[in-house]
Structure 1
Amino acid sequence: MLRQSDPTFDETAFLGRACLCYEVVLEAYAKGDAETLEPLVGQEVRDVFARAAAVRRANGVTLEIALVALREAEIVHAGVGKKAIKVGVRFRSELIRFTRATDGKIISGYPRQIVPTADLWTFARDPGTGASAWRLIATEPG
């Protein structure tokens, strides 16, 4: 259905950009880097991420995420509407994720524990825009 609506859609190129986005967004989310997130995520995701960063700052903690390996990225759904083209990608990765207090003490997670992770991220763009206009509009465990 997606190729019928957008014959220029290149699944391989899209997944390559989605994988890069996954890595950049994970790092920016952990750092609370709103400037990096701005062009990559939609408003709702940006708001959720900003609230999470504000809570971490208020609690005096930092989140550290390291992408050890991105094992798989696959398109699991796609749809075309009048206002948006949406593509869901399931990422299977291995992450190290932990929270540290300002004194350096680990509060949650383990800095040496690699955790298998599956995430479902939905990307969208306006039907009239180009291939580089995709934004992350939803995340969920997947």
Structure 2
Amino acid sequence: MTAFSIVLLAMIAAFLGMRLYSVLGKRTGHEQEPVPPRRDERAAPAPVRLEEGETPPAASTAAADTSGLVYEPAAEAGLRQLLATDRSFDAGRFMEGAEAAYRMILEAYWAGDRDTLRDLCDDDSYEAFADAITAREARGETLDNRLVRIDSAKITEVEMNRNEARVTVHYHADISAVTRDSEGRMIAGSMSDASQTDDRWTFRRAIGSSDPNWLLDEAEAA
């Protein structure tokens, strides 16, 4: 082989080598990305330098959000005692029933529906409502009231007395109230302006009773 042939082959090899490098040395977009270092291989953050007299910032601790609870913190001990006695008790379901009872009892009282009140109230509460209805009827008055909404309702107290449980619920509600005379004329109240009410009702039920319903025991303005 002549010297010219050797030089020619060397030039060809060098040219092919440059072409191969130009292809393999470029990223095509399909290559595997570099593996990120494991947590222990990452560089630690640089320490914060404090000037003289400064104190390190306190760690932020978010306050527990209790807005979604159906009971006040003061009622928690009583609820635990009730649960220990009656494993079937569920505070969420109780509050669903308590809100429904609040609406049903008020509407029954406004309409003079003694039968519904008899089913939802104990003897003393029923008699108080029935007496008020009788006095209203004697005056020839009717109530044209409407429960606009229940803004909030929470268990505030739980009492255990032998085999009976008493649960107090605090209601905040908006009610539009109108009183009419025997001729249907409005003599008090307003249907356009709802009044805010603040009521505290106590329900009771015998533990172990086959009747799952709670009866209204007391009703008072908070």
Shared topology, TM-score over 0.5?
yes
Of Structure 1 and Structure 2, the greater strand share is in: 1
Aligned to 1:76: 156
Conserved? CA contact 1:68–1:94, under 8 Å: yes
Deviation, 1:8, is 1.6
- Give runs of aligned pairs for residues 8-47 of structure 1, distance below 5 A: 8-47=88-127
Give 2:143's match in structure 1, choosing from 54, 63, 77. 63
For residues 3 and 131 of structure 1, the distance between their equivalents in structure 2, rounded to whole angstroms, comes to 17
Identity %: 32
Residue 86 in structure 1 maps to residue 166 in structure 2: yes
169, 183, 187: which is aligned to 1:103?
Answer: 183
Instruction: Between the two structures, name the one with larger relative contact order (CA 8 Å, sep ≥ 6).
Output: 1
Residues 9-18 or 30-39, more deviating:
30-39
SS of 1:96's equivalent in the other structure is strand
Q: Which moved more, 1:80-89 or 1:129-138?
A: 129-138
Secondary structure at the counterpart of residue 117 of structure 1: strand
Cross-structure match for 2:215: 135
- Deviation per CA, 1:70-109, whole angstroms, max 9, x where unpaired? 1111000001111421000011110011211011211111
Q: TM-score under structure 1 normalisation? A: 0.95
Change in 2 beyond 3 A, CA 1:130/1:72: farther
| Stretches of structure 2 lacking an aligned partner (at least 5 in a row) | 1-80
Please list every run of at least 4 consecutive aligned residues from structure 1 whose deviation after the TM superposition is greater than 2 angstroms.
130-133
CA contact (8 A) 2:149 2:175 kept: yes
Counterpart residue identity of residue 104, structure 2: V
Unaligned runs of 5+ in 1: none
Separation in 2, partners of 1:135, 1:90 = 16
Letter aligned with residue 73 of structure 1: A
Amino acid at match of 1:107: I
Aligned length: 142
**Once superposed, what is the RMSD of the aligned Cα atoms?**
1.2
Q: Which has the larger radius of gyration?
A: 2
Q: CA deviation at 1:128?
A: 2.0
